[in-house]
Amino acid sequence: MRNTLLIMAGALACLAPSASAQTEAEPYAITADNILVDGGEVLQDGLIVIAGGKIVQVGLEADLKAGLHKDMPVLDHEGWLSAGLVAANGSMGLGSGVDDSTSAFTESLLVAESFNGDHSSVVAARKAGVTSFGLTTGRSNVAGGQGSFVKTDGAKVVNLRTHLTLCMGPPAIQSRRYPTSYSGAVNALEKRFAAGEGAFGAVTAGKLGVTIAVGARHEIDRAIRFCQKAELTGTLRGANRAGEFADRLAEAKLTVIMDAPVIGSPKWHTDSINSLAKAGVPFAFGLADSNAGAGSLRLGASLAVRAGLDRATAWRAITSTAATLAGGGKRAGRIAEGFDADIALWSGDPLSPMTRLESVYIDGALITEGN
């Protein structure tokens, strides 16, 4: 907050979390030295207007400020403003309820029903600037359930059913129950998609997305073959080596969620990221298959840029592309009119590791003062 000046005294109340309802209801504006709109586009001396929890105007301060209502509170932020970060997937707020172990096929379970929005992992995520994420099951079931797109303030569910979560390898296949093999898992899923009932039918009808958890190269290979045979367009998750399959993924129109690189990540990881970008395969960084915390997203995007990825693609991998892959791309991940006012205020360029997160707003309400 050090660099944020309050012009209107009346707006003081807006900064107190207890008064967040007011900011949601009353229109207000934020100016910033730089507004990161989407990808690489930066508005210098920009201004956004927020009303009803949505972004209603985006532009240059010089163009818009004169037209604002004289009583509208305006926050002047000396620094950068961007969309809140989006994790393409994550299991924050699920505690130990990530997978239901009664069966390998729990496709009708809704993961949002296990979601605790006040869980410490959710709080940690928003303190790292993550304002929404794709809530997903783990990978311990062949068909684990249906994921959701959620916000990190309380248990706000934006989209209850975004994707069916699948896994065709260990730990979903295990010796304790059916299926015990890759062949058995593939066969089981083929039969279910052919029958087209319930969640499987929703996927083939295009009403529900699908993610397939992978790891080793042969699992990526198998998932691509499966999707092509079953005519599915979905997302491979945990696919850190996906870049080695970039051309096949592009041909199959599949997308990728991978771990953000961390300091010390092997070169093949960043090579993989660059290969996906070169082939035009949409990819984003997730947290569900990674041991790293929510803070890994922003650092990972920085490390990807350092390894040669263009800034715009890196930024989208933790905002707009992540939101799209997680099933919330029409509401989150961009500073644009009509999008939810999920906003992060930074001391500088968010892709610089030296930059501090100063404030986080979700649906226009100040949620946290960052880390």
Length of the chain, in residues: 371
Give the binding range for another protein (CB under 8 A) out of 40-48, 85-93, 170-178, 251-259.
170-178
Q: What do you get for the CA distance between the two ends of the chain, in Å?
A: 11
Q: Tell which one of 116, 121, 180, 274 touches another protein (CB under 8 A).
A: 180
Q: Tell which one of 44, 101, 181, 352 touches another protein (CB under 8 A).
A: 181
Contact 116, 95 (CB under 8 A): yes
Q: What is the CA radius of gyration of the chain?
A: 21
Give the binding range for another protein (CB under 8 A) out of 173-181, 285-293, 332-340, 352-360.
173-181
What residues contact 90, with CB distance under 8 A and at least 6 apart?
125, 130, 133, 134, 135, 136, 286, 287, 288, 294
Q: Which is nearer to another protein, 1 or 216 (CB)?
A: 216
> Does 355 contact another protein by CB under 8 A?
no
Q: Tell which one of 216, 251, 268, 306 touches another protein (CB under 8 A).
A: 216
Q: Tell which one of 207, 225, 253, 306 touches another protein (CB under 8 A).
A: 225
Helix-then-strand count for the chain, H and E: 12, 16
Cis peptide before 27 (omega within 30 of 0): no
Instruction: Report the SS3 class of residue 301.
Output: helix
Q: Tell which one of 183, 253, 266, 306 touches another protein (CB under 8 A).
A: 183
Q: Tell which one of 207, 218, 253, 306 touches another protein (CB under 8 A).
A: 218
> Does 100 contact another protein by CB under 8 A?
no
Q: Tell which one of 160, 178, 262, 371 touches another protein (CB under 8 A).
A: 178
Q: Which is nearer to another protein, 15 or 178 (CB)?
A: 178
Q: Which is nearer to another protein, 119 or 177 (CB)?
A: 177
Q: Tell which one of 93, 179, 286, 370 touches another protein (CB under 8 A).
A: 179
Residues between 228 and 257 with contacts to another protein, criterion CB under 8 A: 248
What residues contact 351, with CB distance under 8 A and at least 6 apart?
298, 301, 302, 305, 311, 314, 315
Q: Which long-range contacts (CB under 8 A, 24 or more apart) does 20-24 make?
A: 20/365, 20/366, 20/367, 21/365, 23/50, 23/361, 23/364, 23/365, 23/366, 24/52, 24/53, 24/363, 24/364, 24/365
The residue assigned the tokens 């960052």 is 370
Q: Which is nearer to another protein, 177 or 356 (CB)?
A: 177
Q: Tell which one of 173, 203, 213, 227 touches another protein (CB under 8 A).
A: 173
Cis peptide before 171 (omega within 30 of 0): yes
Size of site (CB under 8 A) for another protein: 22
> Does 45 contact another protein by CB under 8 A?
no
> Does 222 contact another protein by CB under 8 A?
yes
Residues that bind another protein (CB under 8 A): 169-170, 173, 175-184, 186-187, 216-218, 221-222, 225, 248
